Structure 1
C-alpha cells in the first residue's frame, strides 16, 4: 500500500489564479538555452524537491529548496525555501524522512503561489539537480497542474556530471551522500530541501572547476559531453 495514500490537497479542484498571479506568470522570462557563455558567466539555479514518494505520475511535491550560483559562487543571501500547503490525514513517512510535520504542510503556501514564486526565483537560470530527471518530471507536472505553465528550462544532472568528471572516485550509481563524503563536505543537515540544494550547489562548483581544467568551459559543451558519456555508459551496460 502506498504510505501516502491518505495525503490529499487542500480543497477540491485546482486553485484559480487571480489577476495578479496571471500577470506575474506572463512576465516570467523565457527559458534559457545551453549556450557558449563561460561557466563563470552563467546563472545556475540548484533545485531540490521533497516529495511524497518516487512515483512521478502519482506523488506530489511537499517542499522546494533552491540555491543561486552566479559568478562562480553560491549567493547565500538569495536562497529559496518553501513548503507547499498540503493536508495529511495521518502521519506518513514524509515526517520521518523529510522532517516535514503535517502542521507545517497545513500552514504552507498554496501550491500555485509557491510554484510561481519558485519560477520567479529561477528566472532565466539553467537548472541543476541531483538525479535531475526526477526533479524535472515532478516539477514539470506540478507547474502544468497548478499554473498551466510548461517547464522548458534545461536541466543538468549533477549525479551524472560528478562520475563523468571524477571517474577516479569509482562512484557510478552513488547518491548525494556518497559525493558529500568523497569531497569531504561538512553538511550536518540532510533530507531537507534547502540543505540538499546547498550541498548539490557546493558539489556543482567543484565539478565546474574540474570541467574548466578539462577545457569544458560552457554549458553547451558540458551538456554535450555528459550526453555522450551517458550514451557510452548505456552502450557498455548493454554489451555485458
Structure 2
C-alpha cells in the first residue's frame, strides 16, 4: 500500500498477476450465527493468460471448541455435506492462527469465489472476532460475471455452470474441490471476458462486469 493510501485509507494495490479463488465450509448458511469451519484457496496466475497453480494452494480446518458445560450443536446433515466430522473440528487449527495464516497466504491478491459474498462475510466476521481486523483485499463474485459474459446461458448454480463447460469435481461441497472447480470456471469464461474487456482484463474490469449484472434484469 502506498503512503497516500495509508494516510487517506484508499483501496490497496492488488497483485494482478495472482488472483486467489476462495471457498469456505460452515456450520450452516446463517452469516450472523453459524461458524466458519474451514477455508480453502487456490491461486490463478496470469502469464499473461490465466493458469491454475496447483502448487499454490491453502487449506485449513478451524478448531471448534464447545462452550464449557454446553454440548456442541451438531448438524449431522451438514457434516455429511462437507465431510468435516466432530473429531476433525475439535482437532483443527486455532482460529487466530488459521486466519492469520490465510491473510499471509493471500497477501495482496484479489479474492474471488462463486456466490462469494457468503465466503467474504463468514471470513470477515471470524477475522473481526479473533483478529480484530478484516483484510482489505477486494472480492469478486464470479456468478454475475458469468451471467454477463455468457448471456446465452441460463445457468445459475455452480453445478449448472460446470455442466455447461464439462467441468468435473471430485467432491462437491468440499472447499478445496470447489475452489478448483471455480478456478476452472474462471478459465472457461476467460475468452468471453476478453471479448467484453479486451485482451488483458484486470480485476477491476471483472468487478465492473459483476456490478453491471444488477441492471440486466432477470437472467
Any idea what SS the aligned residue of 2:160 has? helix
Partner of 1:215: 197
**Alignment equivalent of 2:108, drawn from 124, 141, 154:** 124
Whole-Å Cα distance in 1 between the matches of residues 117 and 73 of structure 2? 29
Match of 1:206 among 188, 196, 200: 188
Q: Does the alignment pair 1:57 with 2:32?
A: yes
Across the aligned residues of Structure 1 and Structure 2, the Cα RMSD in angstroms comes to 2.0
Mean Cα displacement is larger for which, 44-53 or 181-190? 181-190
**Offset of residue 91 of structure 1:** 4.0
Q: Distance in 2 between matches of 1:208 and 1:227?
A: 18
1:75 to 32, 45, 53: 53
Q: Moved runs in structure 1, 4+ residues, more than 6 A?
A: none
Q: How many residues of Structure 1 are paired with residues of Structure 2 in the alignment?
A: 198
Distance 1:80 1:31, change over 3 A: farther
- Greater shift, 156-165 or 89-98, is seen at 89-98
Does the alignment pair 1:66 with 2:50? no
How does the TM-score come out when normalised to structure 2?
0.83
Displacement of 1:200 in angstroms is: 0.6
Measured against aligned partners, the alpha-carbon deviations of 1:174-210 in whole angstroms (never above 9, x if no partner) come to 2211111111012121110111011111111222232
Please, which of 45, 50, 70 is the counterpart of residue 20 of structure 2? Answer: 45
> How many angstroms apart in 2 are the aligned matches of 1:31 and 1:109?
30
TM-score, structure 1 as length reference: 0.77
CA distance in 1, matches of 2:163, 2:29: 24
Q: Which residue in 2 is equivalent to 1:12?
A: none
- Structure 1: unaligned runs, 5 residues or longer: 1-29
Instruction: Single out whichever of 214-223 and 74-83 deviates more from structure 2.
Output: 214-223
Q: Report deviation, 1:151.
A: 3.0
